[in-house]
Structure 1
């Protein structure tokens, strides 16, 4: 069992790294837009159009709520086990989808490499460690998967709408202009299937950890 003081330090470091990765990535996008004399507002819209950024923002928010002690309705909501666990599923999808589908498409260097590693590799692992050690177990049910799916489904609808209006897509597997709607929906179905499978694994781990804890207490 990890001591509370060690847990707090771990959560603090993870939260700082989460916000650092997001800050670096935002700076790089805005700086690129500035050098091209393009709209910075457009840069912000581009920044928040990525599932990676949105999911890492949720991760950093949950970790910050766990780190701080000031009570609020938002803090209580994010620290509910089913909410924190839903964020765990989303960030796991980020890490696995990037490694399987996107990592080979580019080779970032310098600060972009640091941001890339933080957002796609480091934070998924740190957040899983937080979920394993700090999130209360035993509250997850299969029905929670339906609630967790609202986020990726809403994101997919946003991507299609934004792409239709601006002809810009954040990910190549969602590029309707190149792949067409049938293939994009097939790709999305595959990702959603992966999301559900990861969710089922997480629920299974939740139940296993409860049983393991009960056996140790006997």
Structure 2
């Protein structure tokens, strides 16, 4: 298929991503019990939100097309793979660990599915079709793991100061530091294995770009 279709898919990906993030922010603000500043910090303390912002920004940069020095790496082989790894993990963790802990309704239900199911699937399909998989380097994997590692350090540090932990499995107050670190270690290992699977699978398949 033509580049015109690819452009449309990129535009739709950016629109879908920003819509989900912005609406989720509005909903959180409408139901906030903390200050505006604290609620905003908490909003961006969720790996789901940060990763969906990354997805929306990625598609926006591709759609803009003009060279932007700060975002040149967004268009290099491997960046899409890393982004797909992150958003796929968001989807998998939610489906298996978080879906049953609450039952959103109305617009919150729609946004919840966008952030945790629809967008991860959309990015995965886009990756299958458009990533230059043969050019993705195994050596990039350690760099990809910095994002979840820095995220963990941030939420543990801030949680220690504020008492707020965005996910129950990293709640040191309830579980204790040892259990949180143990679970985080398994999750970090899952990221590493996922990265290896993405690179290996990508190099083993042949797809024609649309």
TM-score by length of structure 2 reads 0.94
Q: In the alignment, is the contact (CA less than 8 A) between 2:54 and 2:83 conserved in 1? A: yes
The root-mean-square deviation of aligned C-alpha atoms, in Å, is 1.4
For the pair 1:23 / 2:19, whether they are aligned, the reply is no
Shift of 1:132: 1.6
Q: Which residue of 1 aligns with 2:2?
A: 3
Q: Which residue of 2 aligns with 1:188?
A: 184
Q: Which residue of 2 aligns with 1:146?
A: 142
Shift of 1:59: 0.6
Q: How does 1:3-152 map to 2 (within 5 A)?
A: 3-33=2-32, 36=33, 38-152=34-148
**Residue among 199, 205, 208 paired with 2:201:** 205
Higher relative contact order (CA 8 A, sep 6+): 2
**Residue among 155, 159, 165 paired with 1:159:** 155
Moved over 4 A (4+): none
Structure 1 regions of 5+ residues with no counterpart? none
SS of match in other structure, 2:45: coil
TM-score by length of structure 1 reads 0.91
Shift of 1:213: 5.7
Structure 2 regions of 5+ residues with no counterpart? none
**2 CA distance for matches of 1:23 and 1:83?**
24
Q: In the alignment, is the contact (CA less than 8 A) between 2:17 and 2:119 conserved in 1? A: yes
